Amino acid sequence: MKVPLLDIGRQHEPIADELKRAFSDALTSSRFIRGPELEALEREFAVYCGTERAVGCASGTDALILALQALGISRGEIAITTPFTFFATAGAIVRAGGVPAFVDIREDTFNMDPCELESWLNRNCAVTDRGVVHRALKTRVAAVVPVHLFGQTADMDGILRVGREWGLPVIEDACQSAGAAWKGRKAGSIGDVGCFSFFPSKNLGALGDGGMLTTDNHALADRLVLLREHGGKGYLHAEVGTNSRLDSIQAAFLRIKLRHLEAWHRGRRRNAALYDGALAEIPEVRTPVTAEGAWSVYNQYTVRALDRDGLLAWLKERGIGCAVYYPLCLHLQKCFEYLGYRKGDFPAAEACSADVISLPVFGELRREELDAVVEAVGAYYGRRRRPGCEAARR
């Protein structure tokens, strides 16, 4: 049985008439930029996340860039994040003019380790009249950017405690985690500003690109609105911004899909629980750990597997959808060679990148498909255990 890693068509089929009607309404109104659909989505998404404001933009990457700019990062200043995440997290720091500094993750949750964050600051930084300054580089540290990876929030108690003690704003990279929560508070409502992606493969995905920022700070939200529209109103510009608007038609699609998001989460969580039980019988596979206080929405179901690359090839040969997020940590990417990191600097992140593999978990996954995934994983390791088998000697 072939099993897709993700089938967005199954999600769209029951709401296809609504989506077509939204497109038709946009065509009739000719309101393609800003307008009432975007304003309504911003209100509804703010309510969903539990924040005062939400500001639409063109992508999750732009959301991160805008958040950094709005919080005042200057050229050459540092923003702290993790090396085990999608490229856009660190790429946005550079695009905003900053320099990424990495701290290691917790191997069980894949998210930023607050102890590593605190240790890095204690080793490298001091509080001065300029703020937090890197002692050796004489450079200000502008922000902390934890990532809520694979649909699970980072340890926001620990990260916020460190951020507040050092006077650093906390930008939540919630691009994979719309609807996830930490101790009852939704992702994007916990730090100073939250950043979301509506890339089609996300739990809440547009029919194209899109992003959103959330905050309780009205002055910050107003600045984000200015920055997304060239830094001004009309033809008067207080600063240089960019063109990063969320199209009205995407806003209309997202309003429809937002109404179904909690049901889709329930489907993903059901499938994750089924995997947890079935894969527990395969000792070579370590299932995801949900931290106490976290409520995951499983944007990916990511396990750690012995001989990951062999398993990856085995599953793909059999038509089982799977992927590796992420095979090379950011500190080892060629474009970041100038930062001076080396292999071994972040052992937890590097260990995870060597053995993670993500399995299909979307809410519309059929039980027989899930069983086929589990059977294929089990068959691979059963084969490896047989004496004399080539796979067992890898």
215-256 pLDDT per residue, tens: 999 999 999 999 999 999 889 998 999 999 999 999 999 999
pLDDT for the residue 386? 65
Q: Are strands 99-102 and 78-81 parallel, antiparallel or unpaired?
A: parallel
Does the pLDDT value for residue 270 go beyond 60? yes
Q: Name residue 230's amino acid.
A: H
pLDDT digits (tens, 9 = 90+) for 320-377: 999 999 999 999 999 999 999 999 999 999 999 999 999 999 999 999 999 999 999 9
The yes-or-no verdict on residue 394 having pLDDT over 60 is no
Domains, the chain, with CATH or none:
8-258 (3.40.640.10), 261-393 (3.90.1150.10)
Give the alpha-carbon dihedral of 32, 37, 43, 48, to 10 degrees.
Answer: -100
Proportion of the chain above pLDDT 90, given as a percent:
93
Cα 234 from Cα 236, distance rounded (Å): 6
Tokens of 208: 């194209």
Helix residue ranges, H only, 131-260: 156-166, 218-228, 248-258
Average pLDDT of the residues in 82-91:
98
Q: Are 135 and 125 in contact (CB under 8 A)?
A: yes
In 3D, which of 239, 194, 240 has the Cα closest to residue 217? 194
Give me the pLDDT at residue 195, please: 98
pLDDT tens by residue, 18-74 = 999 999 998 898 888 888 999 999 999 999 999 999 999 999 999 999 999 999 999
| pTM recorded for the entire structure | 0.95
Q: Where are the alpha helices (DSSP H) in 86-155?
A: 88-95, 114-124
Q: How far apart are CA 168 and CA 231, in angstroms?
A: 24
Is the pLDDT at 311 greater than 80? The verdict is yes
Distance CA 215, CA 218 (A): 8
| pLDDT value of residue 385 | 61
At 392 the pLDDT is 40
Q: Which two tokens stand for residue 50?
A: 């539990």
Determine contact, residues 324/303, Cβ cutoff 8 Å. no
Integer Cα distance of 374 and 67 in angstroms? 41
In this structure, the number of other CB atoms found within 10 A of the CB of residue 238 comes to 11
